[in-house]
Amino acid sequence: MLKAGLSRRTFIGGSVVLGALLTNFRFAKAFVAPSLPYRRKKIANIRELRTHRPIMFNYPDENSPAILVKIGRPAIGGIGPDKDIVAFSALCTHQGCPIQYSRGRFICKCHYSMFDPAKNGQTYQGHASEWLPQIRLRLDRKGNIYAEAIEGLVWGRVINLLPK
């Protein structure tokens, strides 16, 4: 149901409360992610994926680690036949430590924030004010999985594509 490429507005339309919260968020719109010219990057082929076996990759550049994982339950923004393949920035949004995928969720052992990969990287416990930035994925006919854009600010940057 939640295809990548579906516009945010259509999607949010489902949530009356938050739809109302956003309509007047004028300035936010200016920087609403993805607002930058992200490049598409191939991460893996769907045949290589095993449930709960994360694949590390870097996106949008080599200094920004990310995790691709098949979580075995349908996820918001998930792709594949089971809608359970998701990717996130692997830097904790709290103070930038690397997060680990363990038993179906992400955990950061620096100050014990936990994020739910099925729920848009929601911080369901811990200090991290910001949910984990989710990476938009695309699946092609051959089963190749591509990262297309990142929704949310990667920790340690003020702009996801580092300026020169």
Nearer to ligand FES, 92 or 149 (CB): 92
Q: Does 52 qualify as catalytic in the annotation?
A: no
Amino acid at 98: P
**Distance in angstroms (rounded) separating the CA atoms of residues 164 and 162:** 7
Instruction: Count how many residues are written for the chain.
Output: 164
Selected from 44, 46, 80, 130, the binder of another protein by CB under 8 A is: 130
Quick note: the x/- pattern for another protein over 29-48, rule CB under 8 A, is x-xxxxxx------------
Quick note: the x/- pattern for another protein over 57-96, rule CB under 8 A, is ------xx-----------xx-------------xxxxxx
Pull the structure tokens for residue 162.
């580092």
Pull the structure tokens for residue 108.
């950061």
Stretches 31-39, 47-55, 65-73, 125-133: which one binds ligand FES (CB under 6 A)? Answer: 125-133
Q: Does 111 qualify as catalytic in the annotation?
A: yes
Pull the structure tokens for residue 106.
């992400």
| Distance set, CA 68 to CA 88, 101, 158, 164 (Å) | 7, 10, 23, 28
The catalytic residue positions are 94, 111
